[in-house]
Amino acid sequence: MDLDQYKTLDLRRDGRILTITINNGPMNAVDDDLHREFARVFVEAQDDVDSDLIILTGEGRAFCAGGDMEWFQQMIDEPTRFRSIVPDAKRIISTLLELEKPIICRLNGAAAGLGASIALMCDIIVADQNALIGDPHVKVGLVAGDGGAVIWPQLIGYARAKEFLLTGDMLKASEAVTMGLINHAVPTEELDAKVADIAGRILANPRWAVRWTKTAVNLPLREIANRVSDPALAYEIVSNTTSDRQEAVTAFIEKRKPKFTGD
């Protein structure tokens, strides 16, 4: 695997661990380049013969704080661009869930929208206790189609999942641990040690027992994703054409409270 082929992701190996770091500006927001690279990196990580465990993290103060607003505006202006990213959107979810190697999310900072979906679809999530996580798709006028509708109900149940998906509220890492959304929330200075400890305990076990146990556990989740992703993404495409969607993006850019009309 060529570790230098990505524009928005930094890859490095440490023994049998492959670390993938999201590095796309100060908040690691999703744009065309990052979205496209997310759609292929998990396939190539699976095929990487020199690694047995993946760590996914972010550079700087955010893990991945959702979609870039300029990119959002471009897709409102040209709806065909939104439709064109749907195959990659489905591929991000499917390849992450089909990855046989264990993947630990090192949640170093804010994870929102697609960033939260990707974090939660990892096998083990270890967060900085100051990190925030949530899926605020509705706040920007979109359906949570790119994984939120799949993974949140499976982790915390439908009642709680719907509360957070319908409000778009962000959660503190400590709250997320309490409700079972993530595994651990630790002080900043202990984050690397906690991730390394879990990675070491996993790698101490036989490779194929680990990979195929994970694969077996993920089978029902992959079936749910296959059923939900197409209609959820279709709803998301439609929501991108509404007046309230434009108002949400405009208000965010202008740093003011949105004035929704229901259209």
What domains lie within the chain, and their CATH numbers?
9-207 (3.90.226.10)
Distance CA 112, CA 243 (A): 23
What residue spans of the chain are helical by DSSP H?
32-47, 69-77, 79-84, 86-98, 114-120, 148-156, 158-167, 173-178, 191-203, 207-239, 243-254
Q: What is the pLDDT of residues 37-96, one digit of tens each?
A: 999 999 999 999 999 999 999 999 999 999 999 999 999 999 999 999 999 999 999 999
pLDDT above 70 as % of the chain: 100
pLDDT over threshold 90, residue 3: no
Average pLDDT over residues 104-119: 98
Single pTM value for the model: 0.96
The answer to whether 38 and 95 have CB atoms below 8 angstroms apart is no
Distance CA 167, CA 144 (A): 11
3-state secondary structure string, 23-57?
A: CCCCCCCECHHHHHHHHHHHHHHHHCCCCCEEEEE
Average pLDDT over residues 163-185: 97
